[in-house]
Amino acid sequence: MFKWLNLLLPFILLTIFFTNTIEVKAMHTGFDTEELSEETKERIISYIQLTLLETAPENRGIRCFDVNEHGMIAVTQEHGLRKKEICVYSSQGEFLYGYAFRADGIIAVEWDHDNLNILFVRGGELMSLDRSGNILDIKDIPTTIKNNRYENELLYTFKRTVGDTTYQIRNDQGPILNFLTTSFSQIVVTDPDGTERIIYDVNETERNKKIVVFILIGIFVVHVVGGLIVFTVFSVKYFRKLRKLWNGEGWS
């Protein structure tokens, strides 16, 4: 009997050890969520191919943002159709860490204390990540009025206040480009004394990109319209000649 106890004792101690050291953290979010199957979670994890960013990537336009109680700012950025990035900055604009991953459609970000929740809008899933890029949980977000309202809040809130400090994402590219843009080029922090600080600024780069795009679109439109005008003129002349030929007036 003592022999069996000696054999089982290491397993008992290991079980007690892991039971007392593994902490399961519940996800805190403004969404109402439902559980996903483990198979679905594994499929999502396999698809997004998430990696941790320890160095700052190229600065890009910001789609949406959130700020936690410590003044840490998380922003979402897009690079192409599927490549997404989330970067975390201090209130002074220093890059702290980030994540790069693949996703279809729009994403949003939400702080859960020191963890981040990533919303995949198209799939309706919410993923919780810690500082090291460990995936803590993935939940399903059912379509409800409350969830739709909170989703819009995450996507379309451009100013947030933490304590007496205000954080804002904005553009300063002129009224036309500001109206047409879908991303933001600056993070502005307003301190309690009213001092405004721009801690993130890709305004000039984003403006130049948009100007180039609009020029290319303009050239394309001019070519298309010009081509249509030429085609119309030649078509009218051709059909006039056909009508003369039909009336026996000859081709001239």
Biggest alpha carbon–alpha carbon distance for the chain: 120
Residue type, 225: V
Q: What is the mean pLDDT of the chain?
A: 83
Per-residue confidence (pLDDT) for residue 239, from 0 to 100: 72
Q: Helix/strand/coil (H, E, C) string of the chain?
A: CHHHHHHHHHHHHHHHHHHHHCCCCCCCCCCCCEECCHHHHHHHHHHHCCEEECCCCCCCCECCEEECCCCCEEEEEEECCCEEEEEEECCCCCEEEEEEEECCCCEEEEEECCEEEEEECCCCEEEEECCCCCEEEEEECCCCHHHHHHHHHHHHCCEEEECCEEEEEECCCCHHHHHHCCCECEEEEECCCCCEEEEEECHHHHHHHHHHHHHHHHHHHHHHHHHHHHHHHHHHHHHHHHHHHHCCCCCC
pLDDT tens profile 113-169? 999 999 999 999 999 999 999 999 999 999 999 999 999 999 999 999 999 999 999
Per-residue confidence (pLDDT) for residue 251, from 0 to 100: 60
Q: How confident is the model at residue 223 (pLDDT cuts 50, 70, 90)?
A: low
**Predicted TM-score of the model (pTM):** 0.74
Per-residue confidence (pLDDT) for residue 207, from 0 to 100: 53
What average pLDDT does the segment 9-14 reach? 45
| pLDDT tops 70 at residue 208 | no
Per-residue confidence (pLDDT) for residue 23, from 0 to 100: 38
| pLDDT tops 60 at residue 78 | yes
pLDDT tens profile 82-110? 899 999 999 999 999 999 999 999 999 99
What average pLDDT does the segment 12-22 reach? 37
Structure tokens at 105: 């459609």
The percent of residues in the chain predicted with pLDDT above 90, rounded, is 60
pLDDT tens profile 175-203? 665 555 668 899 999 999 999 999 999 86
What average pLDDT does the segment 233-247 reach? 70
Per-residue confidence (pLDDT) for residue 14, from 0 to 100: 42
